[in-house]
Amino acid sequence: MSEDHSIKRNIKVEFVNREPVEEQEIEMVERKGLGHPDSLCDGIAEAVSLALCKEYKRKCGMILHHNTDKVQLVAGRSNPKYGGGEVISPIYILLGGRATRDFEGEEIAVDIIAMKAAKEYLRNIRNLDVDRHVVVDSKLGLGSFDLLTVFRDKDREIPMANDTSFGVAHAPLSESESIALNAENRVMEEYRNKEKAIGEDMKVMALREKDRITLTIGDAFVSKYVDDYEHYEKAKQRLKDFISGIAEAYTSREVITLVNMADTPDSVYITVTGTSAEMGDDGAAGRGNRCNGLITPNRPISMEGTPGKNPVNHTGKIYNLLADMIAKEVVDSVEGIQEVNIKLLSEIGRRIDDPKVATAQIVSKSDVNPGVAEKKVERIIDDWLSNIAEITEMAIKGELRTF
């Protein structure tokens, strides 16, 4: 790391007196999985941004201004049946936002790049026929002149913030948060390869009431791999057992796992493609998980979605990713900290490595040395801000989770 500490940054560290989330009586955590319509929009938004970054660098030698975070999904219509089924009307996806289309008199094929990236991303949904089941439309507009000017100032080594916005993160994850995140992740990474009937549209809701955690799982089973109701019930039980086993790795509390609770013998949650986007469930970017992969009402949270925003100077993206990295390092390397919340506030036109304020709110253990901990936390925040370009590079390479 080449660190720049020449700036006197406005960093505040405070110790707060409140119950850690893990000790609160009620905790709720949600994860919208890979194939949820909102997550599909988030994934597409980020895939389009990454594709544009790659093309801009190839063709122009630099990343040009863009924000592709306004993706909308209108559900299609389908007729799922045991052992088969069909999509009757396609899913419609609208790519919105802004992108630079011209560089030194040469036009860039923004819409072609964007639509190709969207379709490639949708191949994550294994049973979705991207050519037949989806219509992708690009309506990316031009950026406003003032934001283009801020973005394109080549004389500045450090970009200027394109907005006055904040990023928020917390660490460590609670037991309920770890379960919600890893249950869906591991089903997608491991279990769906063993059980073809598992759809990518999985939602996990965790409720902890004192020392009892209830996991309510919704999964869009794929109809052509389900023979009948009895087969469906057995597949559901296997999924329940797999998720219960994952939970045991993160907690000694009682865990109750429930799957597809609206089912009846006459109506079960099966889909043709593995996502509810095929019928009745619309989606939009920014309505789902925060960049740590979760929705956490017990924590401070930013309503601003991270996916699709440009990784060069959009602090709505950069500061959320940065806050998450800072929070993790603080709890990993500073002794005596039970919980930390990181909040970073930018100011439009101000260097992104010099936020208006950077704060850490710490819930400490009883034996912590406040003076020592404060200096260590300040140093971690200052180091990350001094090397903020690393967040941009990691984001461009797709190395950071954004939803």
For the stretch 298-338, pLDDT in tens is 999 999 999 999 999 999 999 999 999 999 999 999 999 99
- Residue 83 near residue 56, CB atoms below 8 Å: no
Q: What predicted TM-score, i.e. pTM, was given to this entire model? A: 0.95
Long-range contact list for 392-398, CB < 8 A, 24+ apart? Answer: 392/311, 392/312, 392/318, 394/321, 395/311, 395/317, 395/318, 395/321, 396/50, 396/53, 396/63, 396/311, 398/50
pLDDT at 366 (0 to 100): 86
Q: What angle do CA 229, 232, 237 make, to 5 degrees?
A: 130
pLDDT band at 143 (very low <50, low <70, confident <90, very high): confident
Task: Give me the mean pLDDT over the 127-143 stretch.
Answer: 95
- pLDDT at site 284: 98
DSSP string, 99-137: E--EETTEE--HHHHHHHHHHHHHTTSTT--HHHHEEEE
CB of 2 closer than 8 Å to CB of 348: no
Query: Among 4-13, 26-35, 158-167, 254-263, whose mean pLDDT is lowest?
Result: 4-13
**What was the pLDDT predicted at 319?**
98
- Rounded CA-CA distance 6/266 in Å is 68
Neighbouring C-beta atoms of residue 54, cutoff 10 Å: 14
Instruction: Using pLDDT thresholds of 50, 70 and 90, give the confidence band for residue 367.
Output: confident
Question: Could you tell me the domains of the chain?
Answer: 24-32+175-284 (3.30.300.340)
Which two three-digit tokens encode residue 218? 């919704």
**Tokens 């939803």 belong to residue:** 403
- The tokens describing 10, both together, are 């406005």
What are the backbone angles phi and psi of residue 165, rounded to the nearest 5°? Answer: -150, 170
Peptide linkage before 311 cis (omega within 30 of 0): no
